[in-house]
Amino acid sequence: MTKMNMLQAINNALITAMTEDEKVMVFGEDVGHFGGVFRATSNLQHQFGKGRCFNTPLTEQGIIGFANGLASQGSVPVAEIQFGDYIFPAFDQIVNETAKFRYRSGGQFTCGTLTIRTPYGGGIAGGLYHSQSPEAFFAHIPGMKIVIPRNPYQAKGLLLASIRDDNPVLFMEPKRLYRASVGDVPEEDYELPLGKAEVVKKGEHISLLAWGAQVEVIEKAAEMAENDGISCEIIDLRSILPWDAQTVSESVKKTGRLLINHEAPQTGGFASEISATVQERCFLYLESPITRVCGLDTPYPLAHEKEYMPDHLKTYEAIKRCVNF
């Protein structure tokens, strides 16, 4: 084990994948000699050469179009979109080509080897265009996977599994944890399962569900609730698509309550899909309405970032309302 922050774990995963498979290549804006705006790709060009780690023009649609072509011809591309906010010019390529190429060609071609890395989320005073959480936009698209890690150990194992998975994966990295989250990470190669949630802590009275940086938020809220005698079960969803409805439903059937926390705006957020599914599966077990603690339905505000964020205090108050319903 080695102490790593999330950036170092991601960098280590890329080195591991590129060493193990010469078909793996990394590209995007400023990822080469500069090492990426967050330095996630530091030293990759020096170690593996300009043919396997290189800069692209500033065109997200072009980056993913190029990546689709590489993947369909047998390469293993890891394409970086510098910020999740700037993934939208590539939306057509991801939705209509990446996710559908296997189906439209009747299995003759596939973009299954493609992994798209992008940092998402707020908490860094990034304002409107460097703070968004767009995971729900892509959760509506069959034919791809969406993965979000909560700490360095998860980041390395999930990224290696994503690169090697036979489906295109959107790997979303919570940027406010890049240097803030530090933990023990194995130096050797390992993978963690995609599409499988993790029960981080067992509890009896309410199930708390989040992903990415918000897992730490619900953990803080759970500590506060424990002082009031409320036992919280904590679940990290890890994969948005496909999401582990079975693990979540089993937890809710035990506790009778569910609180979902995500940083994206509430309306149309992925918590809505989870709520609907859990209500269908667990209706007779519920002791209170399913609760959502989410970002506000506004463009991400720079001056009022703290008010926007679904923090541990909002979550704690929601836990008490849910349990005392």
At 193-206, the pLDDT tens digits run 999 999 999 999 99
Nearest to 318 by CA among 240, 238, 209, 243: 209
The pLDDT of residue 10 is 98
Model pLDDT, residue 73: 96
Q: Where residue 77 falls among pLDDT bands split at 50, 70, 90? A: very high
Active-site pick, 97, 130, 216, 262: 130
How do beta strands 182-185 and 2-5 pair? antiparallel
Mean pLDDT on 71-88: 97
pLDDT average, residue stretch 312-325: 98
What does CATH list as the number for 2-185?
Answer: 3.40.50.970
Q: List the catalytic residue out of 60, 216, 219, 273.
A: 60
| Location of each CATH 3.40.50.970 domain in the chain | 2-185
Note the pLDDT tens digit of each residue in 248-307. Answer: 999 999 999 999 999 999 999 999 999 999 999 999 999 999 999 999 999 999 999 999
> Is 130 known to be catalytic?
yes
Question: 198-323 maps to which CATH number?
Answer: 3.40.50.920
Q: Decide if 60 is catalytic.
A: yes
Measured between alpha carbons, how far is 272 from 295 in angstroms, rounded to an integer?
13
What residues does CATH 3.40.50.920 cover in the chain? 198-323
Residue-level pLDDT at 256: 98
